[in-house]
Amino acid sequence: MLFRTRQMFVGQRTQMINASCWKHAPRETRGHLAEHGLVAATGTAQLKRLADAIEDRGTALPEGVRDLGQIYLAQIAGLNARVAELDLKMRSAAKEADVARRFQTMPGVGPITAPAIETFAPDLATFRRRRDFAASC
């Protein structure tokens, strides 16, 4: 349940970031924001640029647009905090679980991936070879 909850918050955060970048907004909205100099690609990397533009009182944005942008940014910050909190819980759970600790000895498998494998992968005894498990992933 911990892993699925974290994934839900990560998905919501991604949706909020994409929405705050106005990727899925109608053309009128994108055009309106472009008139005010808020043209940015989607993704986390562009979020800082948009946040700076929204917070900067020197930017010629209507107050309504600025207020809505701040709502998006606050929601994203809240989701970031929830994801970080769940990451800590997952890391401590991965330290306690014997199977997750063993998974983490594999290269590239960390405290987030190990519980995911433990949660979603079928019993490893069902595979004849390691290669069969890798193919099933």
Q: Where are the alpha helices (DSSP H) in the chain?
A: 2-20, 27-35, 44-55, 63-96, 98-103, 113-120, 130-136
Distance between CA atoms of residues 84 and 131, nearest Å = 33
Which residue carries 């998905």 as its tokens? 11
Average pLDDT over residues 76-81: 93
Average pLDDT over residues 99-119: 86
**pLDDT score for 27:** 43
Give the tens place of pLDDT for each residue, 19-53: 655 544 544 344 455 566 677 666 677 778 778 88
Q: How many CB atoms lie within 10 A of CB 3?
A: 18
Which residue carries 């990560």 as its tokens? 10
